[in-house]
Amino acid sequence: MCPMNPTLEALVKSYLTNFPEAAAHAIEGLAPDEAAAVLESLSPKEIGPVVERLTPHAAGAILGRLGRERTQELLEGMSPRQAAVVMRLLEDAEREAVLTGLPDDAARKLRALIQYPPESAGGMMDPRVVSLASDLTVREAVTVLRRAPRQALYYLYVTGRDGVLHGVLNIRELLLAGSDEAIRQYVNPTVVSVPVDMDREEVARVMRSRGFIALPVVDEAGRLLGIVKHEEVLDTVQEEAFEDLQKMVGAGGDESASSPVGTVVRRRLPWLFVNLLTAFMAAAVVGLFEGIIARVTVLAVLLPVVSGQGGNSGAQALAVVMRGLALREILPGFGWRIIIKELLAGLINGVAVAVVCAIAVGAWTESPGLALVIGLAMIVNMAAAAIAGAVIPMTLQRLGRDPAQASSIFLTTVTDIIGFASFLGFAVIFAPLLI
């Protein structure tokens, strides 16, 4: 690759150092080859903070073009968790080659992290955690802490010589204790830890309910493996929210703005076919009422009004229920209460909207019969949509599926079919008032 102009290189270094977040966004906007050319002549210390802030897909694509040695240098300067995220994106052969060239300790930590799913506590944790052996004296414990890296100090976890977590130590009690006293007498055995295979949503719930800035991660034997930091949980909650939002409309939960076209097509196309099928189902319903539409053509004009209001009512219920499921607000056995509440809300809102809509349609068409038809259809569809918005995500969860998975597509199907069927069905029933 061609070296950069010295002035441009100095400008780039200053930008990367002072604005790593903005620099990461700017680099993601470049083609991988161009981004690699920008980073090639810079030191790992200068670009490490930027690479850590890149999306995993972008980081994997760029590092794959920097060469093995350069990639190893960068990974050594990154946090273990972020390095593990990037390593998962490399091909197996390339990943193994990079790991082989890393120092033994760094390679061992990365291999351990890569084996855990990224959505688990193990995939989120930072293995750099300082623990104190329970048989240390206060003087020895203070010496250990003074030698420890600052980024590894959160809470003072105490373990046995076998690595099993025994408890947590209050730093104030440690500083006030006698130098030759054993620290075990000051250990608080009541320590909240999370298993290494716990789902990240549950980890976030535990941290939110406890208000901790870090949580220890343990294996089946209770051995301390690492910690999950508060900032990692915040990032996870944000990622989970965006994933749910994307899944609700049939996009891939792991998609990003920089995802390759092939990935985008594979994630979206199946749900587009599902959406196409449901659209034909709604069209088939309309086809059953061709006769009344041919005689009262204004019905075709008003169809989107009914289905659209039903869609809005259902989307409101869906958003609230999705939030309740994510925050564990909906306890087992209480789903029916949510359904009844949404039904009542849908009916009340439906009546209010129906009155306004009927007045508007009556004034526009000068047809009391048409005003009656659209009013009744609006009540039925908005109530049904509210029920569907509550039932669909809870049903998906009961079936062991992600409640967010294309919920809006299924909801749209319900609101379109019921909206069209109720509006045109009432039109057939009250046809003498319309013709």
Higher-pLDDT residue of 307, 96: 307
Percent of the chain scored above 90 by pLDDT? 11
Secondary structure class of 224 (helix, strand, coil): strand
pLDDT of 375 above 90: yes
Higher-pLDDT residue of 278, 302: 302
Q: What is the pLDDT of residue 56?
A: 65
Tokens of 399: 């079936």
Q: Tell me how far apart the alpha carbons of residues 290 and 300 are, in angstroms, rounded to a whole number.
A: 10
Secondary structure class of 103 (helix, strand, coil): coil
Q: Tell me how far apart the alpha carbons of residues 31 and 404 are, in angstroms, rounded to a whole number.
A: 32
Q: For residues 240-258, give the mean pLDDT.
A: 58
Pairing of strands 224-229, 214-218: antiparallel
**pTM beyond 0.75:** no
Question: Which residues share a beta bridge with 168?
Answer: 157, 188
Measured between alpha carbons, how far is residue 290 from residues 197, 249, 294, 421 in Å?
Answer: 56, 31, 6, 12
Lowest mean pLDDT among 24-28, 134-138, 421-425: 24-28
Nearest to 201 by CA among 406, 410, 407, 402: 402
Lowest mean pLDDT among 12-21, 181-190, 314-323, 350-359: 12-21
Nearest to 191 by CA among 169, 221, 172: 169
Name the phi and psi angles at 227, rounded to 5: -135, 150
Amino acid code (one letter) for 236: T
DSSP 78-126: S-HHHHHHHHTTS-HHHHHHHHHHS-HHHHHHHHHHHTS-TTBHHHH-B
Q: For residues 376-405, give the mean pLDDT.
A: 85
DSSP 136-174: -BHHHHHHHHHHS-GGG-SSEEEE-TT-BEEEEE-HHHH
Q: Tell me how far apart the alpha carbons of residues 405 and 247 are, in angstroms, rounded to a whole number.
A: 5
Using pLDDT thresholds of 50, 70 and 90, give the confidence band for residue 1: very low
pLDDT of 262 above 80: no
Amino acid code (one letter) for 1: M
Task: Return mean pLDDT, the chain.
Answer: 80
Q: What is the pLDDT of residue 240?
A: 62
pLDDT of 225 above 90: no
Tokens of 79: 């946090």
Tokens of 422: 């109720």
Using pLDDT thresholds of 50, 70 and 90, give the confidence band for residue 352: very high
Q: Tell me how far apart the alpha carbons of residues 225 and 129 are, in angstroms, rounded to a whole number.
A: 8
The radius of gyration of the chain's CA atoms, rounded to the nearest angstrom, is: 29
Q: What is the pLDDT of residue 248?
A: 57
Q: For residues 277-296, give the mean pLDDT.
A: 87
* Cα distance between the two ends of the chain: 77
Q: What is the pLDDT of residue 235?
A: 67
pLDDT tens digits, 4-45: 566 766 777 777 777 877 888 788 778 888 888 777 767 766
Q: What is the pLDDT of residue 254?
A: 57
DSSP 288-330: TTHHHHHH-THHHHHHHHHHHHHHHHHHHHHHHHHHHHHTT-S
Lowest mean pLDDT among 51-55, 256-260, 411-415: 256-260
Q: What is the pLDDT of residue 349?
A: 92
Higher-pLDDT residue of 402, 342: 342
Residues 6 or more apart whose Cβ sits within 8 Å of residue 121: 194, 195, 196, 197, 198, 199, 200, 203, 215, 217, 228
CA contacts within 13 A on the Cβ side of 4: 17
Q: What is the pLDDT of residue 425?
A: 92
Provide the 10 A C-beta neighbour count for residue 221: 9
Q: What is the pLDDT of residue 89?
A: 66
Pairing of strands 156-159, 165-169: antiparallel
pLDDT of 252 above 60: no
Considering Cα of 284, then 290, then 296, then 297, what sign does the dihedral take?
positive
Q: What is the pLDDT of residue 379?
A: 93
pLDDT of 58 above 80: no
Tokens of 412: 């749209």
Burial class (CB in 10 A: 0-12, 13-18, 19+), 370: buried
